[in-house]
Structure 1
Amino acid sequence: MLIQRVHYAVKKHFALHKTLEFFWRQNWDLGSVTDIFCHMMPFYSYDIPHTCGPDPKICCQFDFKRLPGGRYGCPWGVPPETIYLGNLQNRAEMLLDQYRKKSKLFRTTVVLAPLGDDFRYCERTEWDHQFKNYQLLFDYMNSRSQYNVKIQFGTLSDYFDALDKEDAANRKNSQSMFPVLSGDFFTYADRDDHYWSGYFTSRPFYKRMDRILESHLRAAEILYYFALKQAQQYKISKFLSSSHYMMLTEARRNLGLFQHHDAITGTAKDWVVVDYGTRLFHSLMNLKKIIGHSALLLILKDKRSYDSYSFDTFLEMDLKQRTQSSLPQKNVISLSAEPRYLVVYNPSEQDRNSVVSVCVSSPTAQVSSASGKPVEIQMSAVWDTASTVSQTAYEISFLAQMPPLGLKVYKILETASSNPHLAEYVLYNGHIANKGIFNMNNIKSAQEDITLENSFITLRFGQSGLMEEMINKGDGKSHEVKVQFSWYGTTSKKDKSGAYLFLPDGEAKPYVYTTPPFVIVQHGRFFSDVTCFFEHVTHRVRLYNIHGIEGQSVEISNIVDIRKEHNREIAMRISSSINNQNRFYTDLNGYQIQPRMTLSKLPLQANVYPMTTMAYVQDAEYRLTLLSAQSLGQIEVIMDRRLMQDDNRGLEQGVHDNKITANLFRILLEKRSVMNMEEEKKSVSYPSLLSHITSSFLNHPIFPMTEKVPVPTLQLLGEFSPLMSSLPCDIHLVNLRTIQSKVDGKHSNEAALILHRKGFDCCFSSRDTGLLCSTTQGKANMYTFEDSALIDS
C-alpha cells in the first residue's frame, strides 16, 4: 500500500524516467546492505481495470468476474466478452497492446499484470472464468511468433526471479540497471488532493490497545521463559502442563493479525473492528494470567509449593479492563491488618527507579519492603467523577527500585501507625462538597499562573490550566511550550474526510469553551499534576519529583470523548519558541527518524505525517521531543476523528464507532552539549539516549501485581533478579522468546534472544540524566545473563 499509493505527479515523474522499480536504501545505511527491491504500480489502483495498461476501459473488459449477467459490471460501459475462436485474435491483440504500453514505463522486458483485488476469488465460478479465458489468450499469444511475447500465470516470486535474472546479466557488463532511492512516500495521495493522512489517527482507541498488548506480550514472553526454566529444574508439573505456551502463541498471532493494513490503520468495517478488538482483549486477559503465574513461581521461596496453590492464589495485575471497548480501570486492593504481598515487575533491561501507584481500600495504608522496612508513600484522592472524591478508595504511590527484567516484592497492610504523605489540592472554577481526609482549597478562579516544579524543570500554566512555559533548571532558560486544543471539520466539497482521507475545511479552529474549565492542582511528594476538565477532553499534565529518567520529562494524559460530534476531528497543538525553521522530525517505524518540512504549496492534509513513537523540533541549542504511547497523525497531534461518510477507498462506511479514548505522551526538553550546525542538512536524525529510554519506559511500563486472595502461608523472596547487571543504555532486549517444539507444537528447551542496538545522537550529554546504565560501543557481555539460565548448563 505504501509503495502503490503515490501522488499522481510523483508517479508521472517516476514513469517518465523509468524508475518505477528501484532499490530502497535506508538513510542511515552507508552501503547497500539493507537495500530492498521495490515495484511501484504506475496507474490509479491495483484492481484489474488499472493493472493491464493505461486504459481502464479496455482493462476492465479482461476482468471476467464482470461478464454480463453477474452482480458486477464495468463502470466504463463496455463489458467483458467470453473468449472463443471468433474473437480470440482481436481480444488477444487488444490486451497485448495494453501490456506493451505498460512495458514502456519499465526498464526490463518483464511486465507484471496483477489479476486480483480485495474480496476476490471467493467463488469457484470466478476462478474458472478468469483461468479459462486468460489461458486461451495466453496460448494464442505464445503460439504467434510475430507477437514476440512469452506470457504465463505466475507468482510474485516468478516475476522478481525473472527480473533478477535479467539484471544479473546486465551486471556482468556494468552496474545494476535499477536506481537507488532513499526516504519514504509519506504523505501520499492517489488523486487530486486526496492525501491518505486520515488513517494515521482513525480508531485511536485500538491503536493504543495494540501498544498495550505489545508491552504485555513482551513481558509475558520474558517472564514465561525464566519461569519455564525453573519449572523444569524443580519438576513443577502444574506449570509445565499449563496452556501458557499455547496462549502466548495465540497472542502473537492476534497481535500479528492486528498489524494488518486495515486493522492498526483503523480502516476496517465496524463488525470487523469488534472482532479485532475481541481478539486483542482475549489475548490481553491471557497474558495477564501468564505474567501473574510466572511471577509467582519465580519469587516463591519454596518452588515445589507452587503445585499446591489454587488458581485464586496467583498474582493479578492492578489494571482491569471489563470489555474490549472500555478503558482499563485500577483494582481497589482490599487491606487488612494482615500484610499482603505487592509484587512489581520491571520489563526494562536496565535498573529502574519508578513511581508505583495502586488503589487501596483504606486511608491508613502502609507499604514496606519484603524485610519489613517501611517505605514512604504519597496518598492521593481517587475521583469517582470530576467533582466527587471517593470515600472508599485511595491511591497510594511510592518509589520502587527494581532490578533489570526483575521482580521486587513489597508488603502492604492497614495499620493505625501509618503516616502517609497526603497530597494537597487547589481547585479552580468548581467546588467539592465532601473532601474526606484531604486538604482541598476551593478558589473561584485562578488569579495567578499555576506552577509545578521538580529538580529538573519548572512548568507554568495559564489560568485555564493549560501549560504555557517550561524552564530548564540546568541553565535557567525559559521556553514557551504551549498546549492548546483545536477542531478540524471536513470540506464542503463532494468528497469528504473518511477512514483513509483527511480532507479538512481549512486550518484548525480553536477549541472554544464558554465557561472556564474545572481545574484540579495536586501537589505531592512523588508527583504533582494539573488536571483540566473540558467537555470533550480530560487533560492532565504530571511532573514526577524523582531524580531519574521519569523526572526529566513531562507526562501528558488525555481522555477524549467526541461521540456526540458530527464530522469533526480533535487535535492537541503544542507550540514552542524553538526556532526550527519549518523543519521537524518524525519516526518512521519506532526505529528511525525522518526529517520533514512543511510545504506551503501543498494542502494542509499533505503536511500531516505519521507519528509512531516520537516527533521533535530543534534548533542549534535545544530539542523538544514529544514521545507517544500510541501511533497518531502529527502536524498537531490529532487525537480522534468522527466522520459520518465513506471516502470511497473501499471501506463503504464512515468512522462513527468512537470510544472514550486514552492518549499518553511525554514531553522532553533537552539542551545540546555540542553545537552542530550541520545537523539540519543531514537526511537522517537520531533521538538522544535519554529520549530512547524515556520512550522505552513509556511503552513498557512497570506491572504491579497483588495476590488474588490473601494467603497467610505464602512465602515470597524479596526479589527476582535474572541479570547480573543492566544491559548497556543503547541496547534494548526486544524479546526473549521460547521456541516452539518441532514435535508437538508445545515449547522446546530453546529460546531466541533478540537484542537491538539503538542509534543515538551524541550531541546530547547523558551525564546528570539519572541513567542507571552506560554505553559499550554496541558490545553486550553475555556473562550478564549467566545467572538467569539463559546459558543452559
Structure 2
Amino acid sequence: MCISTYCTFLFLIISLCITVPVKSSNGCGYDACNLGDPNKLNVHIVPHTHDDVGWLKTVDQYYYGARENIQHAGVQYILDSVIHALEENPDRRFIYVEIAFFWRWWNQQTNETRTKVKNFVNEGRLEFISGGWCMNDEASTHYNSIIDQHSLGAEFLRDQFGECARPKIGWQIDPFGHSREQASILAQMGFDGLFFGRADYQDIEQRQKIRTMEMIWQASTNLGDQSWLFTGVLPNGYGPPGSFCFDIFCDGEPIMDDPRLHDYNVPERVQKFIQIAHDEALAFATNHIIMTMGSDFQYGNANHWFKNLDKLIKYVNAEQANGSNVNVFYSTPSCYLYALNKVGRSWTIKTDDFFPYAHHPHGFWTGYFTSRAALKRYERHSNNILQVTRQLNAFANTNLRNSIFRLSEAMGVVQHHDAVSGTEKQEVAFDYAMRLAEGIDAAVDVINKAYDKLLPKDNQSLPNVPQFLCQLTNISECLPIEGQDRFTLTLWNPTGHTISHHVRVPVTKNYTILDSTGHVILADLIPISEPTKKIPGRKSFAMNQLIFKAILPALGFNTYYFEVKNNTLLTNKINDEQEIIITKDDKCILQNEYLRVEFDCQGNLNKIINLKKNIVVPFTAQGFYWYTSFAGNNSRAEFQASGAYIFRPNSSDPQPVSTKRSITCIKTATVQSAIIVFNDWTSQEINLYDNANILEVEWTVGPIPIDDNIGKEIILRYDTDIKSQSKFYTDANGREVLERIRDYRPTWNYSKVESVSGNYYPINSRIWIKEPNRQFTILTDRSEGGSSIYDGSIEIMVHRRTFYDDALGVDEPLNETAFDDGLVVRGRHFLIIESPASSALYHRVGSQQLYMHPLATYALPQLSYVNYSTTYHQTWSGLENDLPLNIHLLTFDQLDTKQYLIRVEHYFELNEDDTYSNSVIFDLQKIFQSQGIIIDIVELTLSGNLPLNNMKRLQWSTTNKTLSKMNILKEISLEDLNIILNPMEIRTFLVTVE
C-alpha cells in the first residue's frame, strides 16, 4: 500500500566524490554488481513491484487479477510480463519479494520458462529480496512466525534455484513501523542489510537534515555484532521520484525521443531527472543513491516501464559529455548496499526501534496494534497448532510434512502486513481465517496419524480412536462431547518442561476423571458464567464446566478418561458433595499460598499482595474504558479519522464503560474466581488457581454498541500506586524488551501532538511498570496496543469498532460483526506482582506457556477405562529429562525419515535473572532419544538455508569506532553434542539420525 502524500518527500542536493573501484562482472550476487563511477553521483535504478499478499482483495484474487473493480492487480501477468521484458535487454534488472505469489506462478510454468528464469537468477538479473512468503508485519507478529514464514520462502528458493537465489537483503518497504527484533532476526539469517519505506515524519525530517538516512542498527542488546544490520530508509517511500512513474496507470510523461516530432521532450525530462537526483543526494551520505522504480502491483505491462527506463538511462548518461556528474544504471538493493559497503565510511548507529510511526502530527498508526483482535488471537492459536503438529509428526515419525504444508502456507500468508495487522477489508479477513481453518483441518489429520502410532501399546495394530479439536472451549463449548457417557481428553505439552496446567471442560453431565494410573482426579464442577452463556453464536447446552489440574510431561502427552457418574442431565444444579462457595455483590478475597487478591462489594479490585515477598500493589482503578474514535473527514491532518490503521481518540480521558458493576465470587479447591460484570457487553473473570503465582484475567468485550453513532476504542486499564516515572517496558515480537518513556523518542526531539496514540506501542507478549522493589507485569495472549499514559497505570486496547475509514486505502470502517451484531472478543491477561529481580522468571516462563499452550484433543472411545488403559498409552514423553528451564525447543520439523530441522533458543536476556540469564549447556541427543542416534549434524543460519560456516556477512564500521565483525563460526561435532546457548541466542541445526 503506497500513500501518495508519503511518497512525495522533497530533498535538497549534495554529492560526495569518494574513490571506489569500478567493478562489474558476470555471475550472481555481489559479483554481478555495477558499482558505478567513483567520480560521479551514481543513481541505482531498482525496478520492483510491491504485491500485497491480500489487502483489498484476497491473495488468490490478487494473483489471478480478479475483482478489477476493487483494484487493478494481477500478479500472474506481472511475472509473465517481467520475464519477457528481461529477455529484451540484458542490462535490465528486476527484484521480487513475495514468494507466496511467485510459488503459485512457478507451479504453472513450463520447463522452458523455468530454465529461462533460472538463467536470469544465475546472471543476477532477477533477484529475490527478503525471500519470505510475504512481507510480514512487524508490530503484530510473533518471532516464531516471522522465522517460519521467512524459512518457508527460503526453502523454496534454495530448492528451486540454489545459492544464487539466497536473499541477503531485507526489503520491508511497506510495514507501518519497524521492530528491532525483526532486524535482529534478519541479521541472524545471514542478511547484510535492510531497507524500508516508512519512518515517522519527524524522524525523516531530522535524518534528512543530518544525512543519516542510512545507519547500522544494533538490533539486540544481548547478541552483539551478530545482530548488527545495515539499515536504510528509502528516499521516496517505495515509489518512483515525482513524474517518473512509467506504469500504465501513472501520469508521468513518457520519454518521447524522436526529435522530428512536436512532443519531443528528452531535454526537459533529462534535466528534471538530474535535478531530482541532486535533490535526493543531499539527504544521503555518499555518492550513491537509490531510486525505487515501481509500486503496488506495477509492471503488469513491464515493457511500458522498461522501455522508458532504457531511454532515461541512455539520455541521462549522455549528458556526462556536457559536464553532468549523474551516472544512472539498472541495479538492485544488494548492489546498492554493496556499493555503500565499498565506500568504506563509518556509519551512525541506532539501538531503539521505529515505533510508533506517524505520517503527520495526527496520524499515528497505532490502531492496527489491536485491529481485528479475534484474527490476531486466531493467528497465534494456529501457530500453536502448527508447532504441535510438527512435533507430533517428528516424534511419531509419520513423515507427513507435505500434509502440514497447508497450515504452514496459510500461516505464511497471514503474517503479511495487511493480514495479522488487521488492516484489510472484511472480506479478506474472512479469507485469511478460512485459510487458517483449512490448514488446521489438514493438521488434524497429521495429529491423528501421529497418535495412531504413539497411543497403542506394544506396537499393536488397533482400531483408530479419532482425535478432534474443540476450538470453542474458550466460550465453554465442545458440542461433540455433549451428552456422551465417556470421552477422552489428550493434552500435548509442546514445551521442553514439565508444566502444571488447569483444564476447563464444558459438560452437560457430571463425570469421574481418571488419569494414566487409574486414579480419580480431583475436579471441581462450577457454573459457566452468565456473560459466557450469552455470547452470540454459542450453541452449547453446557451450563457447567469441570476444572482440574493436569501435570503434563515435557514434549509429551497425558490422556484423561471421562466417564459419566450418572445419566442425570445437569442444569444449574451443582454436585451436592462438592465444596463450593458462591457469593454475590459482597467483598471477595481470592487467596492461595502465593497471592491474595482483594475486591470490595462493588467489584473494584483493591489490591494484590505477593504473600511470599510481602509486595503490596494497591489499585486505584481497574476495569474497562473507551475512547471515542475521532470522526474526521481526512481532508487535512487535523481532520484525520480513527480507523483500521490509525488510533486517534477525540479526548485523552477515556470514559468508563459503566459506573456500576456486579461481582460474583466462586471458591473451590481448584480455583477461586471473581466474575465482574460491567454491563451487557463487558465483563471479566479473574481467576486464581491453586498453587499459582500468576493471576489470570479473562476478559469479554462485545458487541460494542454503536446505536449512538460513536466509534469506540475499548481499553482494559490497571491503575496502581507504582511510581513509574514516565517509564514502561514492552516486548519486541515476543522476545527482547525495550524501555519506553512517555512523550519521548531517543533519536529526535519529539513534538507531542497526540498525547495518547503517540505513546502507544505494540505489546506482543508483555508490558510492565516498576519501582526499585516492585514490578507489575501483564502478559497478553495475542498482540495488542497499549501504554502507560499516567504514572502507575497500564492500559491495553482489547477491541475496536469505528464508524469512519482513515483514508489510508482500505476504504471501509473497522466494524466487525457476527451473528447480526457486533463481534464479541474474548482474551486473557496474566498479572504478575514481583520484585524486578525476580520478575523475569515468571514473565519469561509465563509468556512461553501462553504462546505454546498445551493442545487439547478429544476422542470418543467405545472401550471401558480398563480396556482403554490396557490397550493405549495414557502418558508419553519424548524426553527422559526436562530441558533446562531457560531453553525452549522453538522448531522440531521432520524433513524426511532421517532428517530433522531443529531450533533451540535461550529465551532469557542478559542480566534478567541471577540464574537463568547465564549461558547453558545441554545434550542435543536427548531430544532425539526416541528417533535414534545422531549420525550427522550441520549448524545452519536462522532461516535454515545455509550452513553457518558458509555465512560471510559484510563488515561495517560505525562512528563510535567499533568494527562489526559479522562472521560467526561455531564448531559442533558428533563426539560432543553438548550445545552451548547464550542469552537470547537461537541455534538452528540440520540433524540426521539412524
State TM-score, norm by structure 1: 0.82
Q: Work out whether 1:487 is the aligned partner of 2:626.
A: yes
**Which residue in 2 is equivalent to 1:653?**
812
**Partner residue of 1:749 out of 887, 893, 898:** 898
Superposition RMSD in Å: 3.0
8 Å CA contact 1:626, 1:668 repeated in 2: yes
**Which residue in 1 is equivalent to 2:841?**
689
| C-alpha distance after superposition, 1:380-415 (max 9, x if no partner) | 223576689997554222222221011123322123
| C-alpha distance after superposition, 1:167-199 (max 9, x if no partner) | 3xx2xxxxx432221111111211222111111
**Which residue in 2 is equivalent to 1:684?**
none
8 Å CA contact 1:296, 1:315 repeated in 2: no
Shift of 1:519: 3.2
8 Å CA contact 1:616, 1:626 repeated in 2: yes
Shift of 1:788: 2.2
Q: Work out whether 1:594 is the aligned partner of 2:738.
A: yes
8 Å CA contact 1:83, 1:133 repeated in 2: no
CA change 1:340–1:616 in 2 (3 A) is same
8 Å CA contact 1:670, 1:764 repeated in 2: no
Shift of 1:119: 3.1
Q: Work out whether 1:497 is the aligned partner of 2:672.
A: no
**Which residue in 2 is equivalent to 1:380?**
526
- CA separation in 2, counterparts of 1:263 and 1:41? 24
| C-alpha distance after superposition, 1:547-597 (max 9, x if no partner) | xxxx00111111221443242111111111222111100001111000001
8 Å CA contact 1:688, 1:761 repeated in 2: no
State TM-score, norm by structure 2: 0.66
2:347 is paired with a residue of what secondary structure?
A: coil
Q: Work out whether 1:559 is the aligned partner of 2:700.
A: yes
CA change 1:578–1:106 in 2 (3 A) is same
- CA separation in 1, counterparts of 2:210 and 2:927? 53
AA at the equivalent of 1:654: P
CA change 1:9–1:790 in 2 (3 A) is farther
**Which residue in 2 is equivalent to 1:89?**
267
Shift of 1:259: 0.7
Q: Work out whether 1:478 is the aligned partner of 2:616.
A: yes
CA change 1:271–1:705 in 2 (3 A) is closer
CA change 1:359–1:8 in 2 (3 A) is closer
Q: Work out whether 1:699 is the aligned partner of 2:859.
A: no
AA at the equivalent of 1:9: Q
1:374 is paired with a residue of what secondary structure?
A: coil
AA at the equivalent of 2:616: S
8 Å CA contact 2:481, 2:487 repeated in 1: no
| C-alpha distance after superposition, 1:271-295 (max 9, x if no partner) | 2111111111211233234334323
- CA separation in 2, counterparts of 1:504 and 1:203? 18
AA at the equivalent of 2:524: Q
1:150 is paired with a residue of what secondary structure?
A: strand
1:262 is paired with a residue of what secondary structure?
A: coil
Shift of 1:27: 4.2
| C-alpha distance after superposition, 1:612-636 (max 9, x if no partner) | 1101111100111100110010121
Q: Work out whether 1:716 is the aligned partner of 2:872.
A: yes
Q: Work out whether 1:209 is the aligned partner of 2:373.
A: no
- CA separation in 1, counterparts of 2:347 and 2:758? 28
**Which residue in 1 is equivalent to 2:653?**
508
AA at the equivalent of 2:226: V
8 Å CA contact 1:672, 1:764 repeated in 2: no
8 Å CA contact 1:628, 1:664 repeated in 2: yes
**Which residue in 1 is equivalent to 2:335?**
158
8 Å CA contact 1:64, 1:82 repeated in 2: no
**Which residue in 2 is equivalent to 1:350?**
497
Identity %: 22
What are the equivalent positions in structure 2 for 1:129-168 lying under 5 Å apart?
A: 129-145=304-320, 146-164=323-341, 166-167=342-343
8 Å CA contact 2:513, 2:563 repeated in 1: yes
- CA separation in 2, counterparts of 1:368 and 1:622? 42
User: Size of the alignment, in residue pairs?
Assistant: 694
Q: Work out whether 1:98 is the aligned partner of 2:276.
A: yes
**Which residue in 2 is equivalent to 1:626?**
778
Shift of 1:472: 1.4
- CA separation in 1, counterparts of 2:642 and 2:854? 38
AA at the equivalent of 2:846: T
8 Å CA contact 1:461, 1:467 repeated in 2: yes
CA change 1:607–1:391 in 2 (3 A) is closer
CA change 1:276–1:461 in 2 (3 A) is same
1:151 is paired with a residue of what secondary structure?
A: strand
- CA separation in 1, counterparts of 2:361 and 2:531? 47
**Which residue in 1 is equivalent to 2:198?**
5
CA change 1:196–1:377 in 2 (3 A) is same
Q: Work out whether 1:47 is the aligned partner of 2:239.
A: yes
**Which residue in 2 is equivalent to 1:680?**
none
Q: Work out whether 1:408 is the aligned partner of 2:555.
A: no
CA change 1:132–1:258 in 2 (3 A) is same
Q: Work out whether 1:640 is the aligned partner of 2:796.
A: no
**Which residue in 1 is equivalent to 2:436?**
280
**Which residue in 2 is equivalent to 1:428?**
none
Shift of 1:131: 1.6
**Which residue in 2 is equivalent to 1:778?**
920
AA at the equivalent of 1:486: Y
Q: Work out whether 1:112 is the aligned partner of 2:112.
A: no
- CA separation in 1, counterparts of 2:223 and 2:393? 39
AA at the equivalent of 2:655: P
AA at the equivalent of 2:298: R
Shift of 1:718: 3.4
**Partner residue of 2:826 out of 654, 659, 662:** 662
Shift of 1:73: 4.7
**Which residue in 2 is equivalent to 1:678?**
none
AA at the equivalent of 2:348: P
8 Å CA contact 1:23, 1:37 repeated in 2: yes
Gaps of 5+ in 1: 53-58, 171-175, 232-239, 423-432, 675-686, 740-746, 767-773
CA change 1:783–1:63 in 2 (3 A) is closer
- CA separation in 1, counterparts of 2:875 and 2:238? 56
1:621 is paired with a residue of what secondary structure?
A: coil
- CA separation in 2, counterparts of 1:198 and 1:750? 43
What are the equivalent positions in structure 2 for 1:128-277 lying under 5 Å apart?
A: 128-145=303-320, 146-164=323-341, 166-167=342-343, 170=344, 176-228=345-397, 244-277=400-433
- CA separation in 1, counterparts of 2:201 and 2:276? 20
8 Å CA contact 1:383, 1:390 repeated in 2: no
AA at the equivalent of 2:605: M
Q: Work out whether 1:62 is the aligned partner of 2:210.
A: no
8 Å CA contact 1:521, 1:530 repeated in 2: yes
AA at the equivalent of 1:202: S
CA change 1:152–1:464 in 2 (3 A) is farther
2:231 is paired with a residue of what secondary structure?
A: strand
**Which residue in 1 is equivalent to 2:888?**
732
- CA separation in 1, counterparts of 2:330 and 2:610? 64
Gaps of 5+ in 2: 1-174, 178-195, 633-638, 745-750, 788-794, 818-822, 934-992
CA change 1:27–1:755 in 2 (3 A) is closer
AA at the equivalent of 1:639: V
1:65 is paired with a residue of what secondary structure?
A: coil
AA at the equivalent of 2:500: N
CA change 1:434–1:627 in 2 (3 A) is closer
Stretch deviating more after TM superposition (219-228 or 26-35): 26-35
8 Å CA contact 2:477, 2:506 repeated in 1: no
Q: Work out whether 1:25 is the aligned partner of 2:207.
A: no
